[in-house]
Amino acid sequence: MNLQSLSVLDQSAVGFGNSQAAVIRETLSLAQRCEEWGYERFWVSEHHSHPTIVGTAPEILMAAIATQTKKIRIGSAGVMLPHYSALKVAEQFRVLDALAPGRIDLGVGRAPGSDGRTAQLLNPDLRSAARFPEQIQDLQHWLGDIPFEPGHPARGIHAYPLGETVPEVWVLGSSDYGAQVAAHFGLPYVFAHFITEGQGAEEAIELYRARFTPSRYLSEPKVLICVWALTARTEEEAFFQFRSRARFKMDRGIGVMGAIKPPKEALDGLDSAQRTQFDQLCQRGLVGNPEQVYTKLNTLSQDLGVSECAVITWTHDFVARLDSYELLARQHHTQAALKKNLPETDAQTISS
């Protein structure tokens, strides 16, 4: 299956020397630009007490994005459901759907998006993760305004405001567990390729498809993969910008967390063994000029049988991130034009 749609997952990652508050505003600006460039969806993540990723409240950020965009779908990737009441999440996303009718995606996950101590402060109930499937079922009732069965404690309780459309629920996962939950409830599934670097992707997606049960929401399996990728006008420039991400991954591996280093400083302090590890990270990454990166994404899409990728891009400099997303969108539109036998010059207008 060829790559048909491109989307974006932005994590509000902080570059060294940059203001954390400014990074949140950059996410809003990026969403507006991604709509102009023709991306299908723009999703934001949820992390807590993380010195690098400062997007802590996706529902609030989505509300701001909803008021500044008109057609791009807006979503969470995701809301870490065990932290919260399913009723409150349903209410929040009903409000979001009122702001942007028919454009809201509610991606839900079981992972804490934080360390164990932070997760316990968010919700002291240590059993909350085990209730994840039950919470999804409750969400479906409240979002669809479907009555609970007689005797259920939530019977007669509604999540307002009601509207003509409802948020689309997606189940996020990086293992077989999320695939099985999504399949059981007949919901679309997102595999976090960027977390596992592709390990387990094929198995999880195959399991989801094999066990999928049609529902009132979805008649057949629907899969999206989230991948990490970066492009620039030249391969050399792309790998230069990727230095920041590669160094972050190396530092995280030894328990060092912090803001993203500038690419000029990313190699500082590395010995020969670490330089070898750094080079290996660069070789594995979806990095290069626009044609190279798009070819890699399309190949990955074909290998996994999916038609949509959501792309995450980290750079120290916001302008470099903007350039990467714009160049990738242009390459996508160019390929779409060629497939439709349109003049290549028309590719620029496809997204409008």
Structural domains in the chain plus CATH codes: 5-241+286-349 (3.20.20.30)
Query: By three-state DSSP, how is residue 231 classified?
Result: strand
Neighbours of 335 (CB within 10 A): 18
Residue with tokens 């990738």: 328
Query: By three-state DSSP, how is residue 40 classified?
Result: coil
The pLDDT value recorded for residue 339 is: 79
The pLDDT value recorded for residue 271 is: 87
Nearest 5°: the CA angle 13, 170, 339 is 85
Within a 13 Å sphere around the CA of 176, how many CA atoms are in the beta-carbon half? 5
Residue 347 has pLDDT above 90, yes or no: no
Percent of the chain having pLDDT more than 90?
A: 80
Average pLDDT over residues 144-171: 95
The pLDDT value recorded for residue 345 is: 52
| pTM over 0.85, yes/no | yes
Task: Cite the beta strand spans of 82-222 per DSSP E.
Answer: 104-109, 168-173, 189-192
Taking the C-alpha atoms of residue 8 and residue 219, their distance in angstroms, rounded to an integer, is: 25
Provide the β-strand partners of residue 191.
173, 225
pLDDT averaged over every residue in the chain: 93
Residue with tokens 């609970």: 148
Query: By three-state DSSP, how is residue 77 classified?
Result: strand
Query: pLDDT tens digits for 200-224?
Result: 999 999 999 999 999 999 999 999 9
What is the secondary structure of 133-147 as a DSSP string?
Answer: HHHHHHHHHHHHTPP
Distance between alpha carbon 270 and the CA centroid of its chain, in Å?
31
The pLDDT value recorded for residue 126 is: 64
Tokens representing 332 are 């996508």
Among 26-40, 180-194, 227-241, 326-340, name the one with the lowest average pLDDT: 326-340
Residue 352 has pLDDT above 50, yes or no: no
Provide the β-strand partners of residue 172.
190
Query: pLDDT tens digits for 24-59?
Result: 999 999 999 999 999 999 999 999 999 999 999 999
Among 15-19, 68-72, 202-206, 250-254, name the one with the lowest average pLDDT: 250-254
Among 187-191, 195-199, 250-254, 344-348, name the one with the lowest average pLDDT: 344-348
Average pLDDT over residues 124-135: 86
The pLDDT value recorded for residue 349 is: 46
More confident residue, 172 or 116: 172
Burial class from Cβ neighbours inside 10 Å (0-12, 13-18, 19+) for residue 146 reads exposed
Average pLDDT over residues 266-290: 88
Q: Which of 56, 75, 78 is nearest to 65 (CA)?
A: 75
Average pLDDT over residues 173-190: 96
